Chains A and B, each alone.
Chain A
């Protein structure tokens, strides 16, 4: 098995059954995986911030930094590789938050709001969503069978393709 590490503000796609995509330490960032069980095709993205409007130049250089541009880009790549919307399994984790009574650090919440908009526009539903709280999460996606795993606070939970 080969571990393909998805860095912060980055994305990877694979259709090699020997690969597992992994991204570490999602705080308020969102980790999103989309998987086609027939093609054994999967993608993972680690987005930091909700909207590319905050820095359009940066969004051109690093579209995966933002939920709006990043998710759209990953979807386009997956469609190019043959993903069918009807088979797409979407899993989402992250969006945690530091303890902030003033509400300025709600980056995770805003990330999730934008994510839902993009998914809704594309007619996609979420299979798994583990969002919020104040623990960081590490997620992985096994290309061979689409198993999605979340590790957080010493606990590891698996979600298999339905």
Chain B
């Protein structure tokens, strides 16, 4: 049986999307949603309620003025942000595991994911691409595929180690060559199974080859760049380091300059550390 087939089988056994997120997703595209319904869903989970309040008051999500009641927090944030918060809180627990295949210690992936999510949002603000939706969520979920591929990388450790010795080989290409798919596509497959929105699936699936996407290009380029910046800064690089290809189209696609990256990196660290405390 090929690896691709085995990995597809694994997806069927991959844990379902957290039920609360699933319910909230149903309301996401309903602009008329009554926030008392969402409050009903959330309030029976005291840990979640506390964390929503903390996140709603964090520098990253912060609304104007301190929010202390759940209902106010929900109404101020709006459904998209709420879904982001709930997904962040529920998915983050899954990102805390160590991944021996990739050489990632517990919490490395979570830290990398939060960094990418924050940096993508910061880049969007800096490049005046504020209309891009779901960017934080996609940033947080972009490497979910690592969870799926990790056991296969452990099995093929020797071939992976040999392949990365070629200095120009990108890790996503090596995954593709040895396993038949890269972690970006694997992540997209999980999220499609979770029936998340098309932009989330596309954003995760395309994050190593943004130039090949036909839709949601702004979103995908931003996630790609934020991911590369995160790896560049050594956040969650694991054993295979910085062996990842930056798309040759990025500069043209988003009007990127060197100084943008350095500015975003300087802004991202503190926000990442604040969110990491809440999410872990």
A, B assembled together: yes
Q: What bracket does the count of chain A residues touching chain B fall in?
A: 35 or more
Taking a contact as CB atoms under 8 Å apart, the answer to whether A98 and B233 are in contact is: no
Expressed in whole angstroms, the Cα–Cα distance for A131 and B262 within the complex equals: 19
Taking a contact as CB atoms under 8 Å apart, the answer to whether B233 and A27 are in contact is: yes
Taking a contact as CB atoms under 8 Å apart, the answer to whether A28 and B233 are in contact is: yes
Interface residue? A107 (CB, 8 A): yes
Please pick, from A26, A99, A104, A135, the residue contacting B258 in the complex, using a CB distance under 8 A: A104
Taking a contact as CB atoms under 8 Å apart, the answer to whether B246 and A100 are in contact is: yes
For A16, the chain B residues whose CB sits under 8 A away are none
Taking a contact as CB atoms under 8 Å apart, the answer to whether A134 and B250 are in contact is: no
Q: What bracket does the count of chain B residues touching chain A fall in?
A: 20 to 34
Interface residue? A102 (CB, 8 A): yes
Please pick, from A25, A49, A58, A105, the residue contacting B234 in the complex, using a CB distance under 8 A: A25
For A135, the chain B residues whose CB sits under 8 A away are 241-243
Taking a contact as CB atoms under 8 Å apart, the answer to whether A99 and B168 are in contact is: yes
Question: Chain A's nearest CB lies how many Å from the CB of B250?
Answer: 7
- Given the interface pairs A98-B231, A98-B232, A133-B167, the reply to whether A49 lies near B265 with Cβ below 8 Å is yes
Chain A binding surface SS class: loop
Question: Chain A's nearest CB lies how many Å from the CB of B276?
Answer: 12
* Binary A-proximity of B236-280 (CB < 8 A = 1, otherwise 0): 010101111110101100001111011101110110000000000
For B229, the chain A residues whose CB sits under 8 A away are 105
For A134, the chain B residues whose CB sits under 8 A away are 167, 241-243
- Given the interface pairs A26-B234, A49-B266, the reply to whether A98 lies near B242 with Cβ below 8 Å is yes
Q: List residues of B (180-235) whose CB comes within 8 Å of A's CBs.
A: 228-229, 231-235
Question: Chain A's nearest CB lies how many Å from the CB of B142?
Answer: 15
Taking a contact as CB atoms under 8 Å apart, the answer to whether B248 and A102 are in contact is: yes
- Given the interface pairs A99-B168, A99-B170, A104-B258, the reply to whether A136 lies near B234 with Cβ below 8 Å is yes
Expressed in whole angstroms, the Cα–Cα distance for A101 and B266 within the complex equals: 23
Expressed in whole angstroms, the Cα–Cα distance for A31 and B246 within the complex equals: 24
Interface residue? A43 (CB, 8 A): no
Taking a contact as CB atoms under 8 Å apart, the answer to whether B244 and A99 are in contact is: yes
Residue in B closest to A65 when the chains form the complex, CB atoms: B266
Taking a contact as CB atoms under 8 Å apart, the answer to whether B232 and A105 are in contact is: yes
Taking a contact as CB atoms under 8 Å apart, the answer to whether B266 and A97 are in contact is: no
Q: List residues of A (147-162) whose CB comes within 8 Å of B's CBs.
A: 153-154
For A55, the chain B residues whose CB sits under 8 A away are 263, 266-267
Taking a contact as CB atoms under 8 Å apart, the answer to whether B242 and A48 are in contact is: no
Question: Chain A's nearest CB lies how many Å from the CB of B243?
Answer: 5
Taking a contact as CB atoms under 8 Å apart, the answer to whether B258 and A136 are in contact is: no
Please pick, from B170, B237, B248, B262, the residue contacting A107 in the complex, using a CB distance under 8 A: B262
Residue in B closest to A154 when the chains form the complex, CB atoms: B239
Q: List residues of A (110-130) whose CB comes within 8 Å of B's CBs.
A: 110
Taking a contact as CB atoms under 8 Å apart, the answer to whether A102 and B239 are in contact is: no
Residue in B closest to A135 when the chains form the complex, CB atoms: B241
Question: Chain B's nearest CB lies how many Å from the CB of A12?
Answer: 17
Question: Chain B's nearest CB lies how many Å from the CB of A66?
Answer: 8
Taking a contact as CB atoms under 8 Å apart, the answer to whether B261 and A105 are in contact is: yes
Expressed in whole angstroms, the Cα–Cα distance for A9 and B244 within the complex equals: 23
For A104, the chain B residues whose CB sits under 8 A away are 246, 250-251, 256-258, 261
Chain A to chain B: the 10 pairs with minimum beta-carbon distance, closest first: A27-B234, A100-B246, A135-B241, A25-B234, A134-B242, A136-B237, A55-B266, A98-B242, A136-B241, A54-B262
Provide a sorted-by-A list of 29 A–B residue pairs whose CB atoms are within 8 angstroms.
Answer: A8-B235, A8-B269, A27-B234, A28-B233, A49-B266, A54-B262, A55-B263, A55-B266, A65-B266, A96-B241, A97-B232, A98-B228, A98-B232, A98-B242, A98-B244, A98-B245, A99-B170, A99-B243, A100-B228, A102-B246, A102-B251, A104-B258, A105-B228, A105-B229, A105-B261, A106-B258, A107-B262, A153-B239, A153-B241
